[in-house]
Amino acid sequence: MKPFQKTQVIAVFGAVCTLGFLSLKLFSPQFIEERVESVLLDYRFQVRNLIKPPIAPENIMIVEIDEKSLERYGRWPWSRVLQARLIDAIMKGKPAVLGVDIFYPEHESRKADAALSKVLQKSKGKIVLAAGFDTSAEAPGEQPPDFLLDNAILNVKDQSRLKKAVSVTKRKISIPALSSQAVLGHVYSPSDLDGKLRWEPLYVKYGDDIYPSFALMMAALAQKKGLDGITVFAGRGVKLNETFIPVDDSGRMRIDYFGPERMFRYVSAADVLNKTFKVSGFSGRIVFLGTSAISTFDFAVTPFSARMPGVEKNATAAADILGHRFITSLPLSIDLLVILAAGTLLSFLLPKIRAIAGISLSFALIVAFAALNQYLFTYRGLYANFLYPFSTMALISVFAVAYKYLTEERRARELKTMFSHYVSPKIVEQLIAHPEMAKLGGLRREVTVLFSDVRGFTTFSERREPEEVVSHLNEYLQEMTDIIFKWDGTLDKFVGDEIMAFWGAPLDQPNHAELAVKCALNMSDRLDQLQKKWRDEGKEPLDNGIGLNTGSVLIGNIGSADKKMDYTIIGDHVNLGARVETLTRKYDSRVLLTEFTMEKIKHLIEEGTLYRVDMKEIDTVKVKGKDIPVRIFGIATKQEEKI
């Protein structure tokens, strides 16, 4: 396949892939966001905590109704009289605010309800009571009670964007006698599709009103403001006094967990009730009261834990607000730009470089992206989508590398099949490594051609059995071919006992004339050795003549496309080389070369670097079809010289 076609295929795939992931990011399917991207974000939390582990604030405490408390005071739910004692004991410690993460949806008894109501009333404005909401198929059909309306947020901006807010249609709040004596905050926190709680809806819409979350109200009371300090900018954020809390279109804040469960200081309710714990330890602190015993079933699955008490989830959300620990999502345009830039860059560059370089580039780009993504999350609290840019880069890279590997491997097999009989293994490996250097189409190039023929071979073959002739000739041709390959020549063909080879193609060899002359000298020396060997074996020695010429030729695959093709050279300079070889008999010289080859190696002879050869002009000959005669030179080597 042509490089342009290969570039087109990879570029088209890259463009389709990039557009596909751009579309996915634009629409952000819930299944992908909550089952794949969210899991990748969980890993960023884990890495963040290895690099820069956060520390939970000391001013937030959790009073837990744990196993120890149930063993001491009986199974859950406790009587509201006992719970009133517990809440009263905590409030005697003068906490800044107490959050009771417990529902009281039904009446217990007049005495019990009154006892708890009295305690709540005594600390009214300093206790936040959990309010439950849920969704159902029907819209709310009854007017919310006054005590609930008193807890609605009044300062709402951009109300047109509230249609995307988390909507609830069913309330599950505590009985009026209790709800009316405390500030209410909703604890409606639907999990993602994989069951993990990653978001805190800072407000929910119920009917025509919106209500703050339990954690938001805890933070508001901790700052001594309450509802008056909360302003909702629908779909953008919530302002608590001077703190702006970023939210998504639905009004959700991403919870920045400190780690697994029990990151805050826990105090057993039993220790508070039996006065083992001094309630003065609550002074000025933000205290959450909730259950942690297994039998209470109030647990949340988080990025760090499979069993975090729900009360700690609420404490974490409040700590994030008060500590300005916000995970801010980068604008959609940034995510789209990263996908587009990464896809375009790889689609443009990968077709132009080799597979190994492509792997290195892709790996470096992906690692750099992952490192930057993690850095922004860990040190700047910025969330950037990981899945779509990573998938864009990975998919384009894998396709480009695999496609190039398969096509280049096929190309390498073709090159190896084509050239393994022509050139040395070293040249074949270079061609495979740089296939662009093997231009198989017709082109003109300056080369040096060598022709070698056995003298008197016809007479020799007529006096011997065919088997002996073939064996003798094969030994000679094998030795000569090995020498041609040794000097990086291209073996063009055998024509009977004649050898044709050339230098300067398929790889560019600037010193092609030097290589060809050295090969001819090596062939001559090796033939002297073979002649001695054959005489010792009682065989008639063979002799040869070698002709060399340098010039511009036409080179390429020539033949029948569907039958047989040869990589060969043609032209006047090829014919001249063949003519010079025939003159070796006339002038009784084993190696002859033309003035064109001589011109290329003259400086080597003058420098004495060409094995101290003696060069002499033999004659000037006129070649068929040419008007200008060509000078012919003979080479005489010194016997002691070795190649």
What's the pLDDT tens digit per position in 237-254? 999 999 999 999 999 999
Two tokens, residue 474: 């094969």
pLDDT value of residue 611: 61
Q: Average the pLDDT over each of 20-29, 170-179, 633-642 and give the range with the smallest value.
A: 633-642
Tell me: pLDDT of 409 over 80. Answer: no
Compute the distance between CA of residue 455 and CA of residue 581 in angstroms, rounded to an integer: 11
Residues 6+ apart with CB under 8 A from 227: 151, 153, 154, 183, 212, 217, 220
Q: How confident is the model at residue 333 (pLDDT cuts 50, 70, 90)?
A: very high
Q: How confident is the model at residue 467 (pLDDT cuts 50, 70, 90)?
A: confident
pLDDT tens digits for range 130-143 = 998 888 755 555 67
Q: Which CATH superfamily is domain 429-636 in?
A: Nucleotide cyclase, GGDEF domain (3.30.70.1230)
Q: How confident is the model at residue 425 (pLDDT cuts 50, 70, 90)?
A: low
Angle at 119 between CA 118 and CA 122, to 5 degrees: 85
Of 121, 113, 167, which is closest to residue 147 (Cα–Cα)?
Answer: 121
Three-state secondary-structure class, residue 205: strand
Please state, rounded to an integer, the average pLDDT across all residues of the chain.
88
Tell me the pTM: 0.69
CB 191 within 8 A of CB 197: yes
pLDDT value of residue 411: 60
pLDDT value of residue 70: 96
Q: Average the pLDDT over each of 63-67, 158-162, 298-302, 417-421 and give the range with the smallest value.
A: 417-421
Instruction: Pick 394 or 604 by higher pLDDT.
Output: 394
CA dihedral 546, 551, 552, 555 (to 10 degrees): 10
Q: Average the pLDDT over each of 164-178, 426-440, 466-480 and give the range with the smallest value.
A: 426-440
CB 151 within 8 A of CB 131: yes
Q: Average the pLDDT over each of 126-135, 597-606, 620-629 and give the range with the smallest value.
A: 620-629
Q: How confident is the model at residue 538 (pLDDT cuts 50, 70, 90)?
A: confident
pLDDT value of residue 606: 79
pLDDT tens digits for range 89-121 = 999 999 999 999 999 999 999 999 999 999 999
Q: How confident is the model at residue 255 (pLDDT cuts 50, 70, 90)?
A: very high
CB 311 within 8 A of CB 266: no
CB 530 within 8 A of CB 523: no
Structural domain boundaries in the chain: 3-34+330-414, 55-324, 429-636
pLDDT value of residue 640: 37
pLDDT tens digits for range 350-408 = 888 877 888 899 999 999 999 999 999 999 999 999 999 999 999 999 998 888 777 76
Share of the chain above pLDDT 70, in %: 88
Which CB contacts under 8 angstroms, 24+ apart, belong to 606-612? 610/514, 610/517, 610/518, 611/518, 611/521, 611/637, 611/641, 611/643, 612/638, 612/641
SS (H, E, C) 470-527: HHHHHHHHHHHHHHHHHCCCEEEEEECCEEEEEECCCCCCCCHHHHHHHHHHHHHHHH
Compute the distance between CA of residue 451 and CA of residue 500 in angstroms, rounded to an integer: 5
Tell me: pLDDT of 545 over 60. Answer: yes
Compute the distance between CA of residue 295 and CA of residue 208 in angstroms, rounded to an integer: 37
Compute the distance between CA of residue 587 and CA of residue 568 in angstroms, rounded to an integer: 29
Q: What are phi and psi of 55, to 5 degrees?
A: -115, 125
Task: Give the position of tokens 């990975």.
Answer: 394
Residue length of the chain: 643
Tell me: pLDDT of 436 over 80. Answer: no
